[in-house]
Amino acid sequence: MFDIDLMNRPGLQKIISKANINSNSQKQKIVFGNLDANEESVVPIIEKDRKGNNPASFFSLIISGIILCTFFIFGFLKFGGDIQFSSIISKYSNYFKSPNGLNLDVGKSLIINFLSNPEKTQFLRSIDLTDNLDINIKVNEISDLNLKSKEAKFINIIENKESYNASFHIPINHLISDYNIDATLNDLIDKYENNSDVFLGSDTNAIYFISTGKIIYQIIEELIFTSKITITPDVNGKSFILRYSY
């Protein structure tokens, strides 16, 4: 449930419906006398010091790499626990490109036409928008709609519904995210509660916006792909009711 106290807002009285040398290396002895006799004892000591100053062996590098990887993995897991990755994904999910971007463009064009064109508004029965789009209409002849070819391919004839006899089903398959929806709804209410062209209402399951097609479409753009949106014509035929479910 969203933390929005709609009932106590003054605008709602109109209508109620987140490598140096090792210092410990062995010192060499100074030998007097027959140097040839001590040559064999001095050479091993020098060779030993040289080996002590050689770069790390391949085995040592492997061990070091394993240790570093272990620290990195544990550090990453702890860092991931501190940052809520799910909230980050949710925040930006609405900005990911829809796999059906062209369908979305066609859908928006149809919504605008049915909300603004009186010749098409008369046929509209409902618009249902979730992750996909359905526009239900009642029309005698499909030719009355003057559809473009890219729009006509989405229309289906419906025979078992009383309120409508045709429907546009436009698959969009967009991700749904309600990230920061409380702030978005509050901004919309602040924007429209004193607007004489907009009526606001609410019940236990939804918020309602009643206004002209132009304003309703602006609200759709703010709420699209955050929850289920249903638009129906008002009884006067000049306004539309947007129901936002939560």
Domain extent listing, the chain: 35-82, 99-245
More confident residue, 75 or 200: 200
pLDDT recorded at residue 75: 59
- Least Cα distance to 125 among 237, 228, 3 occurs for 237
Mean pLDDT of the chain: 77
Largest CA distance in the chain: 123
Span 8-39, pLDDT tens digits: 665 555 544 444 444 454 544 444 445 454 44
**Percentage, residues of the chain above pLDDT 70:** 64
**Residue 201 above 60 pLDDT?**
yes
pLDDT recorded at residue 58: 65
More confident residue, 45 or 70: 70
Average pLDDT, integer, range 200-213: 95
**Which DSSP string do the residues of the chain spell out, in sequence order?**
-----GGGSGGGGG-----PPPTTSPPPPP--S-HHHHHHHHHHHHHHHHHHTSPPPHHHHHHHHHHHHHHHHHHHHHHHHHS-HHHHHHHHGGGSPPTTHHHHHHHHHHHHHHHH-HHHHTTEEEEEESSSEEEEE--S-GGGG---HHHHTTEEE-SS-SS-SEEEEE--------TTHHHHHHHHHHHHTT-TT-EEEE-SSEEEEEE-HHHHHHHHHHHTTTS-EEEEE-TTSS-EEEEEE-
Give the CA dihedral 132, 138, 140, 143, nearest 10 degrees: -30
**Residue 109 above 50 pLDDT?**
yes
Question: pLDDT grade, residue 213 (50/70/90)?
Answer: very high
pTM of the model: 0.62
Span 60-106, pLDDT tens digits: 777 777 777 776 666 555 544 444 434 433 433 443 344 567 899 99
Question: pLDDT grade, residue 159 (50/70/90)?
Answer: confident
Measure the CA–CA gap between 9 and 12, rounded to whole angstroms. Answer: 6
pLDDT recorded at residue 174: 86
Average pLDDT, integer, range 47-70: 64
Measure the CA–CA gap between 224 and 178, rounded to whole angstroms. Answer: 10
pLDDT recorded at residue 11: 53
More confident residue, 180 or 207: 207
pLDDT recorded at residue 65: 75
